[in-house]
Each structure stands twice: as C-alpha cells, then as structure tokens.
Structure 1
C-alpha cells in the first residue's frame, strides 16, 4: 500500500506534465497555422533565416546589413520563375511538398559519394528559410515535414514560389530576387533575361561560395545546364502552377 502511495504522486505529475505539453503544442500549432494563413496574403517583413544570420553576426561582433526588398510574383520575370524550378525542383507543380523520387536518388548518391546532394523541394526550402534554421540536424529535418505540409495546405503553389523567390539568399546579406537583381544587374527583377535568371539560380545552393558577380567555371557550367532545362520545359510550364 505504501509503495502505491509513493508512485501515485509521480504518475499524477507525469500526467500533468504530459497534458501541459500537449496543450502548449496545440497552442503552438494553432499559432503556426494562424501566422501561415496570415502570410498567405501579406508580404513577409523577414524570415527566420534572416534573423539567424543577423543574430550570428551580431554575436560575433561583425557588421551585417540585410538587403531585402519584397516584390510580387507578377513583378518577377517569368524567366526567373522558370529558372529556379528548372534548377531546384522540376516536379514542383506536381508534388505535394516532397519529391520522394528525388529524396531516394539523393540518399543513394550520398551513400556512394563524398559530395552531398540534397533532395529538398522548393516547398521544403521555403519552409526551412521561413520558419527554421540552416544546418544539418535530425530535429530540423523532422520539423521540416509539418511546416512544409502546412505551406502546401494553406498556400497555393504560386504563393510558395513567390515567397521562395523573395526570401532565398543570393549573396552575403542579399535576400530575394529583387534585391539580387538590383545588386548584380542594376535592374528590376521583372527585367531579368534568361541568362541572368539562370546565373542567379545557379548560385542558390550556396550563394556565399558561389558568386553571381564572380561566377566560377562550375557556376557558368550550371548556368548553361539550367538554360537548357528551361528551354526543354518551356514558358508554358509555368501555367501548371
């Protein structure tokens, strides 16, 4: 009897902690749904990755200016829209946030090669840049699943592409295609040519190492590959979104 009395408070405490955790997780999920629905219609003032970069540089005592200018999808050249799809996620109009074939292919490639290849879709990258942090961890990968699913449920494909093009990093502190276009080409994103769009898309995997203003041989080769993919897909491919 005495041992049962000892266990009861502990079990009650466990149950209380579990109920509190479940309640706060529910509140957090509802908040996330609300903020995601809100940003379906409103331009984003910043992303979690921008905050992460700014915070890291401040802690290191380094100056870090964010060059960011929101623009609507209608003011982004169709060549730029097609370029990122051709480069990053050619099944973007068809999948529901995850390209399982690309993920399987990336896993097989990474098992036999020291050069890591990603299998993330545009939807996953948008969720990561908007809500999460950069880095390799199972926790971040796990959180990427519900946040990506939430975007796919509450946003249209056009909205996902619009946000992706606005918060993707194109250089040190340069976020979004409008800021990148004005920084590198002295023009608006709506006036980008196929060559310029393909060049910007070519640096997206790592815009700190791969530079649009000083493209390496690898970047130029990828730019040409992206242009070939764009020609194969065709402008009408965007009508699927």
Structure 2
C-alpha cells in the first residue's frame, strides 16, 4: 500500500506553506466542531460581543421551556419568518437584501436567526468576507449538530437586548420588571423590535418606528402560531 504524501517537496517553502495551511485548516475544523458540540448542552458563558462591551454584562441564562412561547414567535415574526423552513440560509432574503443595498440607502442584511446565532456566539460584530465565511461555516455546523430548538434557545440567551443587557430574561426584567416566562405578545414583540439596534431602541414606552415595528411584529406573531411557522421548536 502506497503511503499518501503531501504534494510537492515538503522541504521547500511552498511545500512547507501547504503543510502548515493544511494543518491549520484541520485544527480549525476540529476546534470549531468541538465548540459546537460542547455548546449543544452547555450554556454559552460569554461571547466576544459581551467581553468588548464597555457597558458591562447583565445576563441570565434560561432554557427555552422557561421562556414564554410569545418570545420565539416574535423573534420568528421579526427576524426570520422561514426559520423552521430553511437549513440556515434564506437565499431569497439574501437576494432581496443585495438588491436593496445596490439601490443605495441604509444597508440591510438578509441574515437568518441561525446566522445571527453563529455570529453572536463564535465570532465578532462587523462585516467583511472573511468573517462572513466563518459565519457560514458555523451556521452549517449548528444547523447539523444543534437543531432548530437549540439554535433558538441560544439566540434568545445571547442576543443583545439593551445597553449592557444580553438575553431575553435580562431584557424582560429590565423593561417590564418580570421574567421572560410570562411575556405578553406585545412585550415579546417590543423586545424583538429592538434586536437589530438594541443600543438605540427601548422596548419600554417605545415611540416612532420602534412602536410601529413592535405592533407589526405582534400582529405577525399570531400568524406564526396559526400557520405552524414555529413547528420546529416543539
């Protein structure tokens, strides 16, 4: 049996570079898979976004079963209506976002809840093709290893819900004085409405766009339930 060898001469610079690149890629794959496997059962203790937040960290991990169903419904209604239908990427939403951005104005993304979770847990904020590539890789991993219910649970626990506030439990206490286990449809919708810009929007006594967007999410939340768009969480 012939032994497999690295292409080229491993003693030359190109050969060494290829060997190092292959070793680095193999190590990254192993580490990233291990991370995802661990966080399938272990609560995410901290993220890079939290560590670099000058406002401190207020958070309290709760299981999805201890979060009122109104909250994941609002997240689906406001962030990712096809959450239970896609495998991590909503190609139609991405295409629409690209077309809107090409026309100018405020840049908008087409990220799914799965992509946002992958970014929030394993990566850093900001754009760039390199980070987007890593985000895509981690999205594939969490879809394959975690499943939808765990993705939603992690998302609702690490998403920034206010200045120095992370997760819907801390957000519910901050804005409404009670836990996420008894969020009304309106309260859940208002938290969902601030998720894109949590440092600039307030869920309590909102006005303008946040109020209108929250009301719209509250209406769509009913459709999420009646149309079975939350079926993957059961």
Under a length normalisation based on structure 2, what TM-score does the superposition of the two structures give?
A: 0.91
Corresponding residue for 2:179? 188
Asked if residue 173 in structure 1 is aligned to residue 164 in structure 2, the reply is: yes
Structure 1 residue 33: Cα displacement: 0.4
2:224 is the alignment partner of 1:238: no
Structure 1 residue 89 corresponds to structure 2 residue 80: yes
Q: Is the 8 A contact 1:52 1:133 kept in 2?
A: no
Where does residue 121 of structure 2 map in the other structure? 130
Q: Deviations over 1:169-202 (max 9, x none)?
A: 0111100001111111111101100010000000
1:49 aligns with 2:49: yes
Aligned to 1:33: 33
Separation of aligned partners in 2, 1:113 and 1:195: 33
Q: How far does residue 233 in structure 1 lie from its aligned partner after superposition?
A: 2.1
Matches within 5 A, 1:4-83: 12-53=12-53, 57=54, 64-83=55-74
> d(CA) in 2 for partners of 1:206 and 1:91?
21
How far off is 1:238 after superposition?
2.2
Shift of 1:15: 0.8
Q: CA deviation at 1:11?
A: 7.4
Describe the superposition over 1:59-99 as per-residue Cα deviations: whole angstroms up to 9, x where unpaired. xxxxx320011000000000001000000001000101000
Q: Deviations along 1:100-128, whole A, 9 cap, x unmatched?
A: 00000111111113022210000000000
Q: Distance in 2 between matches of 1:133 and 1:214?
A: 31
Counterpart Cα distance in 2 of 1:84 and 1:121: 11
Query: Higher helix proportion, which one?
Result: 1
Structure 2 residues without counterparts, runs of 5 or longer: 1-7
- Detail structure 1 runs of 4+ shifted over 4 Å in the superposition: 8-11
For the aligned residue pairs, the C-alpha RMSD in angstroms reads: 1.7
Higher CA-based Rg? 1
Give the whole-Å Cα distance in 2 for the aligned partners of 1:162 and 1:87: 16
Q: Classify the secondary structure of the residue corresponding to 1:234.
A: helix
